[in-house]
């Protein structure tokens, strides 16, 4: 793996230097996003690697775009090495429980004393304070307390949306937004600050439209009664004859009219009136019969490219090859791994995928040298930093 200098990296964040204290879930995703957009991110791993690994490090898409440096954070010299990196950085992000970096000697006060313009991004589930701040939790717990889980799914039970809503939507995206906002302030004033990104806060913020609907009595707050949550038959999913599904999203009258016309042209012209709520059960039942009469491919051919707002529910493994995604390059194969391309897209400073994910500590020597650290050989010699063989995960070289 060749470590590129920040000036050579593509993307709108070229020249921004980030220290990532490696964790799991939303922290790595945020670091991946910053790296995708051109930031020069150095990932500080513990020599033993992360506590939870869903895949080998070199196959973990969220580890792409940045080198892995293994540092002993239990040693004074290891902490001093991280602080040396902090002095050279614009941003630090960490995802430990509140108080952990303070106990390590890497808390905000210490880091901001060494680098007053630093943006110190903190990613937690519950936030840095509050009665639950020091409790363990996972995505499903955070979105539960924030009010984001109860509305999801049918009336019978809540349905959790992978960890998209909490970890990555309410977590990573808000950490990145906060970091970039604080970076703008820092570059204008020289004043750094701490960004407290809590998943509970982010999920609550994402619920702005749901709160509006509930507060204005458009929705009573119960699961299955929201028009976007399964209450209406013209915004729902329907099984096809081959056991697949179609999504129907004809909320606006003009889009539903397009749906009705296409179905009528196909021989299904007897749909109950959607404008009469007393007929919604009958409409849903009829739509189930209609969609169950043909395959997903047949329905896709009928509706594709129209304004009917009807689309196939595509399995993830097939989404890689869906013609629209292929045309836009939404998924790409990079270093033998199929993965989502950087998003969003920029006209003047396009982002590109750079280096593939690394094994823990595989880039220690090269990355520390690229960041201008002195006596790298000495740091490796006394175990402060660990260089592993890129081909033998966890084996010191």
Length of the chain (residues): 397
Mean pLDDT over each residue of the chain, to the nearest integer: 94
Mean pLDDT on 280-295? 97
Q: Which of 43-52, 88-97, 230-239, 262-271 has the lowest mean pLDDT?
A: 43-52
- Give me the active site residues, please: 138, 167
pLDDT at 258: 97
Domain ranges of the chain: 6-206+335-386, 235-326
For 54-80, the pLDDT digits (tens) are 788 889 999 999 999 999 999 999 999
pLDDT at 1: 43
Mean pLDDT on 14-39? 96
pLDDT at 49: 76
pLDDT at 52: 66
For 168-197, the pLDDT digits (tens) are 999 999 999 999 999 999 999 999 999 999
Region of 76 (left: φ > 0; alpha: ψ -120 to 50; beta: rest) is alpha
Q: Is the pLDDT of residue 394 over 80?
A: no
For 288-338, the pLDDT digits (tens) are 999 999 999 999 999 999 999 999 999 999 999 999 999 999 999 999 999
pLDDT at 270: 87
Mean pLDDT on 73-101? 97
Q: Which fold has domain 235-326?
A: formyl-coa transferase, domain 3 (3.30.1540)
Q: Is the pLDDT of residue 271 over 90?
A: yes
Q: Which CATH code for domain 6-206+335-386?
A: 3.40.50.10540
């Amino acid at each position: 793996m060749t470590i590129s200098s920040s000036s050579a990296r593509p993307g709108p964040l070229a020249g921004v230097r980030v220290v990532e204290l490696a964790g799991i879930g939303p922290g790595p995703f945020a670091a991946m996003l910053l790296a995708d957009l051109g930031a020069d991110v150095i990932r500080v791993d513990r020599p033993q690697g992360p506590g939870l690994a869903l895949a080998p490090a070199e196959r973990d898409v969220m580890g792409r775009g940045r080198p892995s440096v293994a540092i002993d954070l239990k040693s004074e010299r290891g902490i001093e090495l991280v602080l040396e990196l902090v002095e050279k950085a614009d941003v630090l992000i960490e995802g430990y429980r509140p108080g952990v970096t303070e106990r390590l000697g890497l808390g905000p006060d210490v880091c901001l004393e060494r680098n007053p313009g630093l943006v110190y991004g903190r990613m937690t589930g519950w936030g840095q304070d509050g009665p639950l701040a020091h409790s363990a939790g996972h995505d499903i717990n955070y979105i539960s307390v924030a009010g984001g889980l109860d509305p999801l799914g049918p009336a019978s039970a809540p349905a959790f949306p992978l960890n998209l809503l909490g970890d990555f939507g309410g977590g990573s995206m808000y950490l990145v937004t906060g970091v970039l906002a604080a970076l703008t302030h820092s570059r204008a004033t020289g004043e750094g600050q701490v960004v407290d990104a809590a998943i509970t806060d982010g999920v609550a913020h994402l619920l702005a439209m749901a709160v509006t609907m509930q507060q204005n009595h458009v929705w009573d707050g119960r699961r299955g009664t929201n028009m976007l949550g399964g209450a209406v038959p013209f915004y729902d999913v329907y099984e096809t004859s081959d056991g697949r599904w179609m999504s129907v999203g004809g909320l606006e009258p003009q889009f539903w009219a397009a749906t009705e016309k296409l179905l009528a042209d196909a021989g299904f012209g007897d749909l109950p009136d959607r404008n009469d709520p007393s007929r919604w059960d009958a409409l849903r039942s009829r739509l189930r019969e209609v969609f169950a009469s043909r395959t997903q491919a047949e329905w896709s051919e009928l509706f594709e490219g129209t304004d009917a707002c009807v689309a196939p529910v595509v399995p993830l493994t097939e989404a890689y090859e869906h013609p629209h995604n292929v045309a836009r390059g939404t998924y790409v194969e990079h270093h033998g791994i199929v993965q989502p391309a950087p998003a969003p897209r920029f006209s003047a400073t396009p982002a590109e995928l750079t280096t593939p994910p690394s094994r823990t500590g595989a880039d220690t020597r090269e990355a520390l040298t690229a960041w201008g650290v002195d006596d790298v050989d000495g740091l490796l010699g006394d175990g402060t930093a660990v260089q592993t063989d890129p081909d033998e995960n966890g084996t010191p070289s």
